């Protein structure tokens, strides 16, 4: 079965912060708008995050992410759960400090950017250890692919 984008209009999205609270220019809506001109830009802080609450269970297979070089995360922790359950760690990803699109691949040994296929209703991506001195993270594109159940 081919992978499909799992984020839709009914997916509830939350972010840890927005640079200077300027939601119009740097808000969460820019994670998924498909524009190369817009981005989510977090405020400074030790750990930034994005949560996605899907309208129905999904099986996450791939993550696509595009940071701004110099404002990426050295470590991304993926946590997920079903409705009513506590978040549990799924994977740790080690992205490159690059503006290039980075794609996770499930169960491929030797890849440093991989995600375990998991059925969930909520996904939390925590961006730890930012390459920016102040802890800011800039994401131009976030794609979650898999299968709707």
The pLDDT score that the predictor gives to residue 114 is 58
Could you give the number of structural domains in the chain?
1
Q: Cα separation of 113 and 65, whole Å?
A: 11
The pLDDT score that the predictor gives to residue 46 is 84
Q: Cα separation of 97 and 88, whole Å?
A: 26
Residue 24 dihedral angles phi and psi, to the nearest 5°: -60, -45
Q: Which domain holds residue 27?
A: 4-148
Give whole-number Cα distances, 3 to 57, 63, 89, 145, in Å: 15, 11, 22, 6
Q: Cα separation of 111 and 36, whole Å?
A: 26
Q: Cα separation of 26 and 127, whole Å?
A: 17
pLDDT tens-place values along the chain, 149 residues long: 678 999 999 999 999 999 999 999 999 999 999 999 999 999 999 889 999 999 999 999 889 999 999 999 999 999 999 999 999 999 888 899 999 998 876 544 444 455 677 899 999 999 988 999 999 999 999 999 999 99
pTM to 2 decimals? 0.91
The pLDDT score that the predictor gives to residue 98 is 92
Number of alpha carbons in the 13 Å side-chain half-sphere of residue 8: 11
The pLDDT score that the predictor gives to residue 129 is 86
The candidate with the shortest Cα–Cα distance to 139, out of 56, 33, 52, 62, is 33
The CATH number assigned to the domain holding 8 equals 2.60.120.260
The pLDDT score that the predictor gives to residue 112 is 45
Give the N- to C-terminal CA distance of the chain in Å, as an integer.
Answer: 12
């Amino acid at each position: 079965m081919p992978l499909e984008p799992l984020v839709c209009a009914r997916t509830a999205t939350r972010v840890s912060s927005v640079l200077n609270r300027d939601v119009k220019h740097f808000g969460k809506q820019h994670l998924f708008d498909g524009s190369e001109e817009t981005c989510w830009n977090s405020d400074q802080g030790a750990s930034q995050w994005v949560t996605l609450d899907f309208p129905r269970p999904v099986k996450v297979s791939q993550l696509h992410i595009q940071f701004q070089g110099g404002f990426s995360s050295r470590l991304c922790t993926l946590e997920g759960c079903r409705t009513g359950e506590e978040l549990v760690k799924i994977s740790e990803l080690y992205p490159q400090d690059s503006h290039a699109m980075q794609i996770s691949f499930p169960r491929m040994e030797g890849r440093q950017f991989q995600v375990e296929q998991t059925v969930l209703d909520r996904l939390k991506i925590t961006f730890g250890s930012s390459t920016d001195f102040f802890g800011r993270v800039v994401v131009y594109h976030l794609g979650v692919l898999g299968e709707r159940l």
